[in-house]
Structure 1
Amino acid sequence: MNKFEYPEKGKGAESMTSPVIEARNIVKSFGGVRAVDDVSVSVMPGEIHAVIGENGAGKSTLMRILAGVETPDSGSVRIDGKEIENSAKASIDAGISLVHQELSLIPEMTVAENIMLGAFPTNGGWTKTKEMKKIAADTLKEIGVEVDLDERISRLSVALRQFVEIARAVARKPKVLILDEPTATLTPAETDYLLSMLQRLASQGLAIIYISHRIPEVFKICNKVTILRDGKLVTNDSIGDLTPDKVIDQMVGRELHLDLTQRRPARELGELVLSAKGIKAPKVNGIDLEVSKGQIVGLGGLVGAGRTELLRAIIGADPRSAGRVTITSNGKKRVITGYLSAIKAGVAYVPEERRTDGLALTMTVAENIFLPNRKEISPTGVMPKGKISAFAKVLSEKVNLRPPEVTREAGQYSGGNQQKIVIAKWLGRKPSFIVLDEPTRGVDVGAKAEIHKLVKELADNGAAVLVISSDLPELLELSDLIHVVRDGKIAGTLTGAEATEKSVMSLAAGEKLVGA
C-alpha cells in the first residue's frame, strides 16, 4: 500500500493486529517546560482514537511530533513497525496527514490548488490542471462537500475552509489521518456529517487520531481514548470503559462545574448601550439590534447566516451600506462611524479568528495587552517597561492565564490561553460594550468554564455583551436573549424557557448542510 491508496475494504482493524502508528516514550520541552513527558500511544488500522486533555496538556505538540513538524527531545515514531525520520516530508511519505486546529490554507490559491498542494500531478514540470481538478473534485465528492474548484480560499466561509483543509488531507489517501479540533467551526449538522464521514473512512481501514474538546463527539465515534494532563499520559482506555464524567475528571484533575444547564437569572434591563437600526452590509439585510447594560444577547444561527458580518458591521470593523449605530455609556451617546470610533466609545472586540485578528503571535503577552491600553498605562506617552509588565501581569492573573508569563510570546500559548490573552487586553479599558465571536472555539472544558465565568462577571458588573456561538449549550447558558439569524435577517427571538437547542435550530433551519 502506498500513500495514495487506502487499505482494501474489509482489511481494517478487524483483520490486522499490529498498530499502524506508534509513538514511543515521546519527550518534548520548550524553555525548560515539558510539553510532552514520556508519552506512548498506538493506533490500529480502522480505529478512531481520541487524544484529549485541557489546553496546554500537550495534545497538539504530540500530534505535531507524529506529523514530523516538531522534533522530539527523545522517543520515536513508527509506521507499520518501522521507525521514521523526524521530518514533515518523511511523515507525509510514510502516510501521515495532519489537519491542524488553525487553518493552514493559502488564501489566494484556489480550492483545487489547495487540496493538491504539495502533490500536484505534473508532466515535464508542468501541472496537469485537468487531472488536478479531477482528483480535487473526487475528494470533495468523497467527503460530501460542494464548492467551486476555481474559487479562491479567501472568499470562502470559515466552515468551508475547514472542509477544504480536510479534503487536502484525505486526497493523499493516508494510512493515518490526524484531526485537531476539526468541528470547532462547524454547525451541529455539519459536525454530524463530518463524524459520519470519518466513520466511513475508518471502516475502510484508515487509522484516525481525533483531538476534540467536545466529549459527546468522542463517545459517538471513537474506539479508544488517550487522556493527557500537564504533558503526561493519564490513561489509555477503550471507550466502553469510560464515562463522560470520568473523562472530564481525568482531564482536569479537579472538580469542575460547567453549569451548562444553568441560565442567568432574570433581571431588569439597565440603560440601553447599543442601538443598531437598519443595518445593511454584505450578507446582512436590514437588522435592528439592541443590548442594554448588564445584558448578554446571543446571536444563534448556522455558519454563513450573516452573524459575524452583522457584528463586524455594527462595530465598524467592516463597512455597512445602510443603518445607524450608537453606543451610550455613562449617559453619553456616541454615533459609531467606524472601528476607531467604536473603540473610543468603549467597545471591546474578541474576534472569531484569534490567531490572525486578535493577537500578534510573535509579540509577548505584555506587548499584546499594551497595544489597546497605551493611554491607560501611560497618559503622558512615556512607556516604562516595568509599568507595562505590571499592568499585563494583573490582567493575566485576572483571566487565569497559565502560566502567567507576560514575557512569553503569545504564539507559544495554547488556544485557550490565547483566547484569555485577547480578553485580558480589553479588560484594562473597562469596556461598556463587549462583542465576542465564538469565544470558546477550540478551547478545553476548563478554560471554557473560566471564560464563561468571565463573561458573566463582565455583564454582572454592568457591561453590555453581544456573543456569537455555534455551541448551543454555551449560547443557552450565557444569553439572556437570543436572536437567531438566517439569510442575513433575524428569523426569531427567544427568551427564557422559549430558548432550547431545538427552538434555536428550528429557527436556523433552511440552510444547506454546508453553507457558504
Structure 2
Amino acid sequence: MSAPVLELTGIAKSFGAVPALVSVDLVVEPGTIVGLLGQNGSGKSTLVKILTGIHRVDAGEIRFHGSVLESPVRHASRRGIVVIHQDLGLHPRLSVLDNVGVGDGYATGKLLPRSRRGELGTFRRLGERLGIDLDPWRLVGELSPAERVFVAVIRALRELEHGGGDGLAAHPLRRADGAAARGRERPSDRDDAPARGGRGASCSSPTGSRS
C-alpha cells in the first residue's frame, strides 16, 4: 500500500493565548479530495498556511509522501504543495495565457518567442488534462467567475510542474453561484472555537503514488 500524500498528526497552533488549531489529524490519500469543514475563524486558513510555510506549528508532525517536513515548510511549491486562494490573484487586463505564466514569467533573450510557444503548448496540454477549453488570448476580465477559477487551477498545475513536486492543491470550495460548499461539520460552542476541521476549503491530490 502506498503512503498517504499528506499526513498531519497532532498539529497545534496558537496566536498568543488564543488557540487556532488543537491536536489536528488529517490524512490525504493519493487520488482523493478531502474537505475541511467549519465556521469562519475555525482554523482552516491557518492549517493551509502551515502547509505552505507561512506559519510554524507549535506541536505536531507533517509528513508528505512519507517524509517528515520541517516546519515552517520551505519552498512548498517545489515540494508539490500549492494553494488556490479565494481571491484568485488574476489580472483582468492580461490574457489567460499571461495570467497562467505570471508567477514565473517567460524565459528572456533571443528565444522568447519559442518560449511563449512552449507556454502555449503547456497551457493546452493542462487544459486537455482537465477537460477545460479556454481561449488563451482572451482577457481574463472577459471571463465568467467559473472560467477564472479554471485559469487559477491551470496556473497551479503549471506551478507544480515547474517546481518538480508530486502535487497537492489546496483551494476554497465554492459553487458557481458563490455559495459556500456544504458538508458535515463538527458543531462548536462559539464562533471562534479552535476547530479540528473547517468549512470551505479542500485538499486534492493526483491519482497514483510517488514513484
TM-score, normalization: structure 2?
0.72
Q: Which residue of 1 aligns with 2:156?
A: 169
Equivalent position SS for 1:23: strand
Q: Which residue of 1 aligns with 2:181?
A: 213
Q: Which residue of 1 aligns with 2:77?
A: 92
Q: Aligned-pair distance for 1:119? A: 4.2
CA contact (8 A) 2:51 2:73 kept: no
Match of 1:106 among 85, 91, 103: 91
Q: Which residue of 1 aligns with 2:126?
A: 139
Answering whether residue 125 of structure 2 is matched by residue 157 of structure 1, we say no
Q: Aligned-pair distance for 1:130? A: 0.8
Higher RCO, 1 vs 2 (CA within 8 Å, ≥6 residues apart): 2
Bigger drift between 129-138 and 103-112 goes to: 103-112
Show the 5 A alignment for 1:324-343: none
Answering whether residue 167 of structure 2 is matched by residue 180 of structure 1, we say no
CA distance in 1, matches of 2:57, 2:121: 38
Q: Aligned-pair distance for 1:169? A: 1.6
Aligned-residue sequence identity (percent) comes to: 29
More helix by share: 1
Q: Deviations over 1:173-222 (max 9, x none)?
A: 542122221x33x159xxxxxxxxxxxxxxxxxxxxxxx7322xxxxxxx
CA distance in 1, matches of 2:98, 2:69: 28
Q: Deviations over 1:2-24 (max 9, x none)?
A: xxxxxxxxxxxxxx431121223
CA distance in 1, matches of 2:37, 2:191: 18
Greater Rg by CA: 1
Q: Deviations over 1:252-274 (max 9, x none)?
A: 247xxxxxxxxxxxxxxxxxxxx
Equivalent position SS for 2:75: helix
CA contact (8 A) 1:20 1:44 kept: yes
Q: Aligned-pair distance for 1:33? A: 1.5
Q: Which residue of 2 aligns with 1:34?
A: 19
Q: Aligned-pair distance for 1:135? A: 0.8
The CA RMSD over aligned residues, in Å, is 3.2
CA distance in 2, matches of 1:79, 1:40: 14
Show the 5 A alignment for 1:13-412: 16-86=1-71, 90-120=75-105, 122=107, 127=112, 128-171=115-158, 172-173=160-161, 174-181=166-173, 183-184=174-175, 186=176, 213-215=181-183, 247-248=184-185, 251-253=186-188, 402=191
CA contact (8 A) 2:39 2:191 kept: no
CA distance in 2, matches of 1:169, 1:83: 23
CA contact (8 A) 1:100 1:179 kept: yes
Q: Aligned-pair distance for 1:85? A: 4.5
TM-score, normalization: structure 1?
0.32
Cα gap change, 1:113 to 1:84, in 2 (>3 Å): farther
CA contact (8 A) 2:57 2:72 kept: no
CA distance in 1, matches of 2:70, 2:96: 31
One-letter amino acid of the structure 1 residue matched with residue 89 of structure 2: S
CA contact (8 A) 1:23 1:66 kept: no
CA distance in 2, matches of 1:139, 1:90: 23
Cα gap change, 1:156 to 1:20, in 2 (>3 Å): same
Q: Which residue of 2 aligns with 1:274?
A: none
One-letter amino acid of the structure 1 residue matched with residue 168 of structure 2: V
Structure 2 regions of 5+ residues with no counterpart?
A: 193-198, 202-211
